[in-house]
Amino acid sequence: MAESVSSIENTPHSEIPELVRNQLEALLEKNNLEGAKSLLVPVKAVDIAEAIENLPESMQAIAFRLLSKTEAIEVYEHLDSSVQQALIEEFKRQEVIEIVDQMSPDDRARLFDELPAKVVRRLLAEMSPKERQNTALLLGYQEDTAGRIMTPEYISLKDSLTVEQTLQRIRNLANASEIIYYLYVTDASRHLTGIVSLRDLVLASPEAPLSAIVTREVVSVYTDTDQEEVARLIQRYDLLAIPVVDREQRLVGVVTVDDVMDILEQETTEDIYTLGGVQSDGDNYFQTNLLAVARKRVVWLFVLLLTNTVTGSIIQSQEDILQQVVTLAAFIPLLTGTGGNVGAQSSTVVIRGLNTDEIRSLGVGYVIFREALAGALLGLILGSVATLWSFWLQGSLVVSIAVGLSLIAIAILASVAGSALPFLFRSLGLDPALMSAPFITTAVDVLGVLIYFNIARIVLDL
């Protein structure tokens, strides 16, 4: 046993879950439960959770039952919701209640979101009254809001206490509370009036009044504040937690920085999926079945199929000039491809800038104008090269000039479309990320061939 434990301690963190999983599976296959139990002792809850997730389904419940009661709850909170659900079905009624009752309220609310309504009703009925109330409170708020992700467990104090009394108070209360790095000061009607950090409390002299170290300028959010906004505020003001108040400024909960980091990662994944033309609904793409995968991807593809048909029919409508100068066709992919890529670049930087608030203070007009200039500059560089390149390839001066001129026009147009459409979508209340690479690329194709053939006609007529 000592051997397997020491091998875990010397393993890089990123390899621990896999190592634990493999050793755990081997021990469970041999039915060596004691060995498996001691294997897990030095391992952190999140790593145990990942190891259990990757075990064969038949072993998950057995592995989970090796854990001590307190550890079991922490591990359970870290499990993927699909594994959480599978375990609930495996467990006996009493086991389920014990876990669910001890979970932190925000994790429990997340689990209840995923469970069938019937199971949730049964669980709620069997929970302790205090926890039932906590959960009902959270479930009453909209998904993706501060109210849903907060914990209603926090420490609130009156500022008439001294530092010493406060510390005494904390020692009696702390086990009921998820975080005590910030303490909240409220008045008689539970209005949030200030905040004290545990740091300042420890550093203050014991007989000082609490009011002497209270910060009155508190950054707080409302229960209906979007979770992404909550995350941004915690990040902006370097907070460890942010208090959540109702419309009457009464303290109702706290959102902590660790929850917020997971939310930021999830929101980023959603942004990136949208940018890549994949619908995102918060589920793990790699854990969903193929039909769900197809559903997430097919809508966009149909939209783009239609748009591409338009490009095709424009090309077909230009049959006369194409038959006259056959080499024109050879440069269509170059022009539409480059236009699409220039547009995708512009939309990428603008969409990311909107999501991070980097361009909030710059103004829509300035950003689009700047992208147009960048497009013109890129068009000039690429157009010059493409003119020489196409002349060398085909030897037709007229076609080369048409290609070069078109490329300049297309680059400007693509930059403007790529930067303007995300703003337009945002002002319509839609996600700007929908106007990303797949869409811009296809849209610029349509306009690109139109510009190309019109310029070609003009150049050929000269």
Instruction: Answer for the pair 244, 255: CB distance below 8 angstroms, yes or no.
Output: yes
Whole-angstrom distance, CA of residue 250 vs CA of residue 155: 14
**Closer residue to a second copy in complex, CB, 326/458:** 326
Q: Two tokens at 352?
A: 């990311």
- Residues 83-122 binding a second copy (CB under 8 A) are none
Residue 142 CB, nearest approach to a second copy (Å): 19
Q: Which residues pair with 186 in a beta bridge?
A: 192
**Closer residue to a second copy in complex, CB, 96/446:** 446
Q: With CB under 8 A as the rule, give the number of residues binding a second copy.
A: 116
Instruction: Answer for the pair 442, 435: CB distance below 8 angstroms, yes or no.
Output: no
- Residues 187-216 binding a second copy (CB under 8 A) are 198-199, 201-203
- Residues 252-281 binding a second copy (CB under 8 A) are 257-258, 261-262, 264-265, 268-269, 271-273, 275-278
**Closer residue to a second copy in complex, CB, 96/359:** 359
Instruction: Answer for the pair 397, 456: CB distance below 8 angstroms, yes or no.
Output: no
Dump the DSSP string for 19-57.
HHHHHHHHHHHTT-HHHHHHHHTTS-HHHHHHHHHTS-H
Amino acid at 28: L
Residue 301 CB, nearest approach to a second copy (Å): 6
Nearest-10 crossing angle of helices 117-126, 129-139:
140
Q: Two tokens at 237?
A: 């003001």
**Closer residue to a second copy in complex, CB, 203/458:** 203
Instruction: Answer for the pair 409, 338: CB distance below 8 angstroms, yes or no.
Output: no
Residue 115 CB, nearest approach to a second copy (Å): 23
Which residue do the tokens 């890529």 mark?
Answer: 341
**Closer residue to a second copy in complex, CB, 53/126:** 53
- Tell me the window of 59-67, 94-102, 109-117, 358-366 that interacts with a second copy (CB under 8 A): 358-366
- Output the furthest CA–CA distance in the chain (Å, rounded): 95
Decide if residue 324 touches a second copy (CB under 8 A). Answer: no
The CA–CA distances, whole Å, from 279 to 295, 431, 435 equal 8, 12, 13
Residue 377 CB, nearest approach to a second copy (Å): 5
Amino acid at 442: T
**Closer residue to a second copy in complex, CB, 240/321:** 240
- Residues 152-181 binding a second copy (CB under 8 A) are 167, 170-171, 174, 180-181
Q: Which of 1, 176, 212, 294 binds a second copy (CB under 8 A)?
A: 294
Q: Two tokens at 316?
A: 């077909």
**Closer residue to a second copy in complex, CB, 185/204:** 204
Pairs from 55-63 (Cβ < 8 Å, separation ≥ 24): 55/21, 55/24, 55/25, 55/28, 56/25, 57/86, 59/24, 59/25, 59/28, 60/86, 60/87, 60/90, 61/87, 61/90, 61/91, 62/28, 62/33, 63/24, 63/28, 63/36
Decide if residue 341 touches a second copy (CB under 8 A). Answer: yes
Q: Which of 353, 396, 416, 426 binds a second copy (CB under 8 A)?
A: 353
**Closer residue to a second copy in complex, CB, 50/87:** 50
Decide if residue 309 touches a second copy (CB under 8 A). Answer: yes
Instruction: Answer for the pair 254, 239: CB distance below 8 angstroms, yes or no.
Output: no
- Bridge-based pairing of strands 241-245 and 251-256 is antiparallel
**Closer residue to a second copy in complex, CB, 243/438:** 438
Residue 430 CB, nearest approach to a second copy (Å): 19
HSE-up of 461 (CA within 13 Å, CB side)? 6
Give me the 223-242 binding string for a second copy, x by CB under 8 A, dash otherwise.
------x---xxxxxxxx--
Decide if residue 132 touches a second copy (CB under 8 A). Answer: no
Q: Which of 26, 159, 208, 337 binds a second copy (CB under 8 A)?
A: 337
Give me the 40-69 binding string for a second copy, x by CB under 8 A, dash otherwise.
--x-x-x---x---x---------------
- Residues 360-419 binding a second copy (CB under 8 A) are 360-362, 367, 370, 373-374, 377-378, 381-382, 385-386, 389, 393
**Closer residue to a second copy in complex, CB, 388/458:** 388
Q: Which of 60, 134, 151, 311 binds a second copy (CB under 8 A)?
A: 311
